[in-house]
Amino acid sequence: MICTALGSQQAVDFVHTAVRTGYAEYFRTAMERVDGMLDESFGKLALSQSGGANPGKLLEATSFILKNTFNKGDTSFWFNQAYHEYKTHIKPETDFQQLKQLISGRRVLDYGCGSGYLAVRLERGGFDVFTTDVLDYRYEEAKHLPFIRMSSPRDVQYPDNSVDTALVQAVLHHIEPNDLPVVIQRLGKIAKHLLIKEDTYDLPPDLDGRDRLLAAQPLLRAFVGLPRDAQFQVLILIDFFANAIAQGIPEMNMPFEFKTIDEWRQILTSNGFSVNRTQVLGFEAGRMHKSCHVWLLCERMA
């Protein structure tokens, strides 16, 4: 799927612009260096697929970029230092300011907690936080929080009704289709409320707030102007670049099961949740890797 998306110049050009827009908010005095890194990265990735979809060449290009462009083996490299600051302080604070208005109750399960910095910020904000993930790459600051490593995304070993809200932030599109209903149903036994943030596409014309966001966000206007298939490819490349390149975790499971808002509503309803509120964020400010995001606030039906 990544190879196919890289074969679309339309999708590559949009993602290049979107990533540059996000980086420009943080690297104002270093944009010449940033532009050089992005030009080299997107150029090599697209070139690797110029002869058709070729996973082997994609792997070679990704490995080269990680080692030579983003210098992921060197924590002192200026980009890695800045990105670490973003991931550990700026992004968790931005997330927290949103989440404190959306979370129901005090007890929160951070499903797919990743590095754990958001979980730590939630704890500092007064929540009782529990964490779980299939990979354990938590930073030291998060290791005092309760954590259960999952053997698979379906394997959520927290007791029934043990938390008020299960937080699932940009995780569900990484879950295989056959596992997704099981995951949602299991979270529905653990928590009464489900708070989901997802990358989405093909926004419904009658969606509340759509026109306001389109007027305020040039990237969103350009995104919805793309063909539906190209929008999906854009989400793939943004997710790949953010996780595999910038964060340096190419081993992350990426089946890219992105869905429209209507598809998410149908899946959630059929697996025991009502969607009480839909909040579209679009390509919001304050995000280094911008995408078309939506919050889905859900409640267990029984």
- For 52-75, write each residue's pLDDT tens digit: 999 999 999 999 999 999 999 999
Q: What is the mean pLDDT of the chain?
A: 95
DSSP symbol at 131: E
Residues of the chain above pLDDT 70, percent? 100
- For 115-169, write each residue's pLDDT tens digit: 899 999 999 999 999 999 998 989 899 999 999 999 999 999 999 999 999 999 9
Rounded Cα distance between 176 and 188, Å, is 18
> What is the value of pTM for the model shown?
0.94
The pLDDT confidence band at residue 249, using thresholds 50, 70 and 90, is confident
Rg (CA), the chain: 19
For residue 104, give the H/E element and its range. none
The pLDDT confidence band at residue 253, using thresholds 50, 70 and 90, is confident
Q: What is the largest CA-CA distance in the chain?
A: 55
| Domain map (residue ranges) of the chain | 2-79, 89-300
Q: In angstroms, what CA-CA distances link 68 with 22, 63, 78?
A: 22, 8, 13
**CATH number for region 89-300:** 3.40.50.150
Q: In angstroms, what CA-CA distances link 132 with 171, 186, 210?
A: 12, 13, 34
Residue where the block lists tokens 């009658």:
206
